[in-house]
Every structure is written in structure tokens, then in C-alpha cells.
């Protein structure tokens, strides 16, 4: 498998921006080869519905700009629906246990939460934070917009917030096996 194909698979799998240095580490290549492979990938995607997005040292896959009106109509359809039980469950986890990574959300829920988290991001209810302990994993936290929807001015105003946070700390410290 070519390096550009490995990078494409990694970007698809991660579904979030990744650093060029991380790609070099994971693929056991040097950064100059990663840069070449990224250019090759970018060229191979040129006439497709997916493009390579670049921002400084980070790269990600995204939708082609020509598909923006089509994607925008899908987003409007998504926003017109309720967030559902899974969305409420995920929001509650992020509100009371956050900030936390998607893998932590998945662990708590017991299922993959990728699409639910994306849906909440698109709606502006949660946002990504840089994880200072592990730059590869983004942390998710509630937005001010969500707090406004909930009618609170700070997260501590949630019902039983401190009590639930304390219980969650105890569960983390003493997991049931």
C-alpha cells in the first residue's frame, strides 16, 4: 500500500485534523515523505467529492467546495430534527463528566458516538478543546450556546452538578471490574 493511501485511510479513520508529525510517527516515515504523500493524495482527490484540508501543520479530509450547497442542505435537514435520546445522553455525559475525549464518551455510553458527537458539533452545542496531555485526542466540552439553551450562566448551575461530578470521580477512581 502506498504512503498516500495509508494517510488517506488514517485521515478517514480519525475523522479529525491530525498533525503531520503524528502521521510521520504512525507511518514510520519522515516528514518530507509525508509532505510528498500529502501532495500526491491532494492531487488524487482533485476531481472527487472529498478534498485534503490543510491548516498549518494539520491535515484532514473534508468535502469538496463544489458540494457545499448540497452538504448545506443536508446540514439544514439535520438541524431540523430533534437530537434524540442518544444526543441527550451524550450531551449529559459531556456536561457532567467533561471535558472528555470521544473514546471516553464511547466507553461511558458503551457504543460508538462519532456521529452523535459530530451532530452536536454541527449544532454548536459542543466544541473541541486541545488536549494538553495527548495532542492526538481532542476533548469535547459544552458551548456557551448550550448553556444559554439550558438557561444557565455557568455549568455549575446544572442540577446536582457538584454531587454528580464527585460520584463520577469516585467511579473513575474505583472502577467495577
Residues 107 and 143 in one domain: yes
Residues 86 and 60 in one domain: no
Q: Is the dihedral of CA 154, 111, 11, 29 positive or negative?
A: positive
> What pLDDT was estimated at residue 136?
73
Residues 95 and 151 in one domain: yes
Structure-block grid coordinates of residue 9 = 485511510
Residues 6+ apart with CB under 8 A from 74: none
Residue 77: inside a domain: no
Sheet containing strand 50-55, strands side by side: 18-19, 58-63, 50-55
Residues 54 and 88 in one domain: no
Residues 38 and 109 in one domain: no
Instruction: Write the pLDDT tens digit of every residue in 66-100.
Output: 877 777 776 666 555 678 899 989 999 999 988 99
Q: Are 127 and 140 in contact (CB under 8 A)?
A: yes
Residues 57 and 138 in one domain: no
The string of DSSP codes covering 67-98 is GHHHHHHHHHHHHTS--HHHHHHHHHHHHHH-
Residues 53 and 86 in one domain: no
Residue 152: inside a domain: yes
Burial of 96 (0-12, 13-18, 19+ CB in 10 A): middle
Element (H or E) spanning 114, and its range? helix 114-122
Q: Residue written as cell 464527585?
A: 166
Residues 6+ apart with CB under 8 A from 2: 37, 40
Residues 143 and 88 in one domain: yes
The string of DSSP codes covering 12-57 is HHH-S-EEHHHHHHHHT--HHHHHHHHHHHHHHTTTSSEEEEEETT
Last residue of a domain, one of 11, 30, 64: 64
Say which CATH number the domain at 32 has. Answer: 1.10.10.10
Residues 90 and 124 in one domain: yes
Cα(11)–Cα(41) distance, integer angstroms: 11
How confident is the chain (177 residues) per 10-residue block, as mean pLDDT? 92 86 93 93 89 86 80 64 85 90 89 90 88 79 82 84 84 67
pTM, full prediction: 0.55
Residue 72: inside a domain: no
Residues 93 and 43 in one domain: no
Residues 90 and 155 in one domain: yes
- Domain tally for the chain? 2
> What pLDDT was estimated at residue 71?
73
Residue 75: inside a domain: no
> What pLDDT was estimated at residue 84?
86
Residue 76: inside a domain: no
Q: Which domain holds residue 101?
A: 82-173
> What pLDDT was estimated at residue 76?
63
Amino acid at each position: 500500500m502506498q504512503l498516500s493511501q495509508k494517510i488517506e485511510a488514517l485521515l478517514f479513520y480519525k475523522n479529525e485534523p491530525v498533525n503531520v508529525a503524528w502521521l510521520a510517527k504512525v507511518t514510520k516515515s519522515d516528514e518530507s515523505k509525508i509532505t510528498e504523500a500529502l501532495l500526491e493524495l491532494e492531487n488524487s482527490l482533485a476531481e472527487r467529492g472529498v478534498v485534503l484540508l490543510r491548516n498549518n501543520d494539520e491535515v484532514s479530509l473534508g468535502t469538496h467546495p463544489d458540494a457545499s450547497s448540497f452538504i448545506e442542505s443536508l446540514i439544514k435537514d439535520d438541524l431540523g430534527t430533534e437530537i434524540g435520546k442518544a444526543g441527550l445522553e451524550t450531551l449529559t455525559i459531556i456536561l457532567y463528566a467533561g471535558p472528555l475525549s470521544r473514546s471516553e464518551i464511547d466507553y461511558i455510553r458503551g457504543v460508538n458516538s462519532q456521529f452523535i458527537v459530530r451532530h452536536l458539533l454541527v449544532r454548536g452545542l459542543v466544541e473541541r478543546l486541545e488536549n494538553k496531555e495527548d495532542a492526538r485526542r481532542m476533548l469535547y466540552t459544552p458551548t456557551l450556546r448550550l448553556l444559554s439553551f439550558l438557561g444557565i450562566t455557568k455549568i455549575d448551575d446544572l442540577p446536582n452538578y457538584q454531587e454528580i461530578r464527585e460520584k463520577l470521580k469516585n467511579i473513575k477512581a474505583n472502577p467495577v471490574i
